[in-house]
């Protein structure tokens, strides 16, 4: 079993805001992250596939195909977007890095078999800043 990873990036605006709460409670809990006028980040996304290399290619997955899949299915839906307003798969959800990583897993997990029969999704790692990041392994 080998673990193969590809890093992509996107940038987006968001706010942390629970619509079930008052504005005051949102500011109390989320502080400046609740700014109604939004703030934003350069996100770095690392997708890891686990598997055994195809003996004919030496590849668990062709990284060009993995890069294209991540860009088409995830990056194009998030890059230069507002996570709260523009992203259908985040509607009704908190726009935290934790939730975003879990939703990216849900999108990519069933599609890995389209690009390789030698591996499956192992981990989503998502940097919100160089100092804050999340990992999700699907369970």
Residues at the interface with its own copies (CB under 8 A): 1-9, 11-14, 16, 18, 20, 29-33, 35, 37-42, 48, 53, 55-60, 62-64, 79-82, 85-86, 93-99, 101-102, 129-137, 139
Give the separation between CA 134 and CA 44, rounded to whole angstroms: 11
Is 24 a known active-site residue? no
CB 69, min distance to its own copies, A: 14
φ, ψ of residue 26 in degrees (nearest 5):
-60, -45
Residue 2 three-state SS: strand
For residue 19, the minimal CB distance to its own copies (Å) is 11
**Closer by beta carbon to its own copies, 93 or else 111:** 93
Is 80 part of the annotated catalytic residue set? yes
Are 135 and 101 spatial neighbours (Cβ–Cβ below 8 Å)? yes
C-alpha span between 65 and 49 (Å, rounded): 12
Closest by CA position to 101, among listed 50, 56, 61, 46: 46
Active site residue 128: yes
Tell me the closest approach of the beta carbon of residue 9 to its own copies, in angstroms. Answer: 8
Show which residues are catalytic.
33, 80, 128
């Amino acid at each position: 079993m080998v673990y193969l990873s590809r890093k992509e990036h996107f940038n987006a605006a968001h706010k942390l805001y629970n619509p079930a709460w008052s504005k005051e409670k949102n500011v109390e809990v989320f502080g400046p992250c609740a700014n109604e006028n939004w703030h934003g980040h350069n996100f770095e996304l690392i997708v890891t596939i686990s598997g055994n290399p195809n003996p004919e290619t030496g590849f668990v997955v062709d990284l060009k195909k993995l890069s294209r899949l991540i860009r088409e299915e995830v990056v194009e839906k998030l890059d230069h977007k507002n996570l709260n307003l523009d992203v259908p798969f985040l509607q009704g959800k908190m726009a935290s890095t934790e939730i975003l990583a879990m939703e990216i897993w849900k999108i990519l997990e069933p599609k890995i078999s389209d690009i390789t029969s030698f591996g499956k999704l192992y981990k989503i790692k998502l940097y919100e800043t160089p100092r804050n990041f999340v990992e999700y392994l699907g369970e």
